[in-house]
Amino acid sequence: MSIFGSMKTAVSGMNAQANRLSTVADNIANVNTTGYKSVSTSFSSLVLPSSGGNYNSGGVQSSVRQSVSDQGDISYTTSSTDLAISGDGFFIVQGADGTPVLTRAGDFQKDDEGNLVNAAGFMLMGYSYDSGSPAVVVNGFDGLVPVNVNQEGLTAIASTSGIFKGNLDSGANVVAAAATRPSANPATPTADTKKFSMVAYDTLGNKVMYDFYFTKTSVAAAPPPAPPAVNSSWEVSIYRNADAAVGGTTSFPYTTAGGDVGLGTLNFDANGKMVSGGAVNIVDPVTGQTINMDLTGFTQLGADFAGTGTPNGQAASPVKDVTIDGDGIVYAKYEDGTNKPLYRIPLANVASPDKLTLQSGNVYSANGQSGVTVTGFPQTNGLGTIKSGALEGSNVDLAGELTEMIESQRSYTANSKVFQTGSDIMDVLVNLKR
């Protein structure tokens, strides 16, 4: 056995425990860091070949392990821009150098330009709704832009489409005379009709109300053995509410140039289900807009008339707040209660998160051992859910770290005693010559 060998073994043991103490110090220092993932030290033996009765002491090698895949506790906050991930995945953020990296630290706040930036200075990245509903780029970070929630001033969106659904009473009377139907815009229309109204928006965000009139126009006989495909038909005619007559007992006749601004037919089968029709276009000569209305949600059953409409568009309104849902969609909430999607936040993941390369700022980058980065929207492909107004805490167990620190200190001291003993033996050998 070599005395120098035992001293070198003791030195390797002290170096290994020093590395262990470093990871403990890092964990304790970041026990309150948002989204921090603890690191630990593992050891493996180094063995030197021995022959005969001589034993050559080897040493110990230390390696650092990350617990990136271990979920930290989630706590709730009062800020809607604080984000936590429940489950797998990472936020995609960008540093000052423009390189996208991954993080679990979702303590985002607006900077002076309105970008969402976390405590380490990394900007949150997402897909914009400027060109419609975004699609994810699964194998890269192309198309991602900084999420900016600095929505100032007023915003107005013109209506281009709408959905109108409800029920038409199957017991309504048939109006055979076309001249008395609302579509003819008579001075005295038939009373056998049902009126609904719906508000849409012009290009300046002004409200424009439209009156919808539903009139039953035919009922087909049902000769055996099977009823016809179309059992009954309804006519729907639409007028501008602003052009309604005033001072009389009805809104007719409307003063809109050309009469109605929309006309269509709804055909139902013997079970009250719509079999054709249902697509009606509002062509407004005043605003110059065309609004595509979907009325396929109407039924004809033996129940009272009912209807509800949901057109798109938005009145001129300032932004009141910004909200983020579990699917990662960032909404601007306007003062009038409407919401507009601005961005969609994706999540990214790798095959082996614990093998990611840790960088300053509590961010990670992919490497050959972790696997390539795969991007997707929350709650798809095994990715987790985004929780707004919440933060993921550090997954450090403080009691365990203090225990590790005591063990490391004891082991370091024991290895130093081995080194000291080897040094004493060397002194004995040197003194033999004296």
Tens digits of per-residue pLDDT, 17-46? Answer: 899 999 999 999 999 999 999 998 888 888
**Token digits of residue 389:** 């107004």
Amino acid at 247: G
Bridge partners, residue 107, by sequence: 82
Query: Sign of torsion, CA 250 253 257 259?
Result: positive
Cα–Cα distance for residue pair 252/39, rounded to 1 Å:
78
> Domain-by-domain residue ranges, the chain?
3-67+395-432, 76-149+346-392, 159-312
Percent pLDDT > 90 in the chain is 63
Give me the long-range contacts of 107-114 (CB less than 8 A, separation at least 24): 107/34, 107/35, 107/82, 107/391, 108/81, 108/82, 108/83, 109/79, 109/81, 110/81, 110/149, 110/150, 113/148, 113/150, 114/148, 114/149, 114/150, 114/151
For residue 152, the model assigns a pLDDT of: 64
- Which among 331, 372, 332 has a CA at the least distance from the CA of 350? 372
Cα–Cα distance for residue pair 184/176, rounded to 1 Å:
13
- Which among 309, 289, 285, 187 has a CA at the least distance from the CA of 236? 309
Query: CA-based diameter of the chain, in Å?
Result: 135
Which CATH number does 159-312 carry? 2.60.98.20
Q: What is the DSSP letter of 174?
A: P
pLDDT in tens, 109-148: 999 888 999 999 999 999 999 888 898 988 889 999 999 9
Please measure the distance between the N-terminal and C-terminal CA atoms of the chain and give it in whole angstroms: 24
Burial of 11 by CB count in 10 Å (0-12 exposed, 13-18 middle, 19+ buried)? Answer: middle
Query: Sign of torsion, CA 416 422 428 432?
Result: negative
Burial state string for 35-73 with b = 16 or more CB within 10 A and e = fewer than 16: bbbbbbbeeeeeeeeeeeeeeebbbbebeeebbbeebbe
- Which among 236, 239, 240 has a CA at the least distance from the CA of 194? 236
The owner of tokens 């998160």 is: 353
Phi, psi (deg, nearest 5) at residue 404? -60, -40
- Segments in the chain below pLDDT 50: none
Does this model's pTM top 0.75? My answer is no
Task: Name, in order, each residue with C-beta under 8 angstroms of 159's C-beta and a sequence gap of 6 or more.
Answer: 200, 201, 202, 208, 289, 291, 311, 312, 313
Query: Sign of torsion, CA 269 275 281 282?
Result: positive
Task: Name, in order, each residue with C-beta under 8 angstroms of 116's C-beta and a sequence gap of 6 or more.
Answer: 81, 108, 109, 110, 123, 124, 146, 147, 148, 149
Cα–Cα distance for residue pair 434/94, rounded to 1 Å:
69
CA distances from 337 to 309, 320, 325, 375 (A): 16, 9, 16, 32
Query: In the chain, what are the helix, strand and coil shares in percent, each to the nearest 5?
Result: 15, 40, 45
Query: Sign of torsion, CA 361 364 365 369?
Result: positive
- Which among 230, 234, 232, 159 has a CA at the least distance from the CA of 196? 234
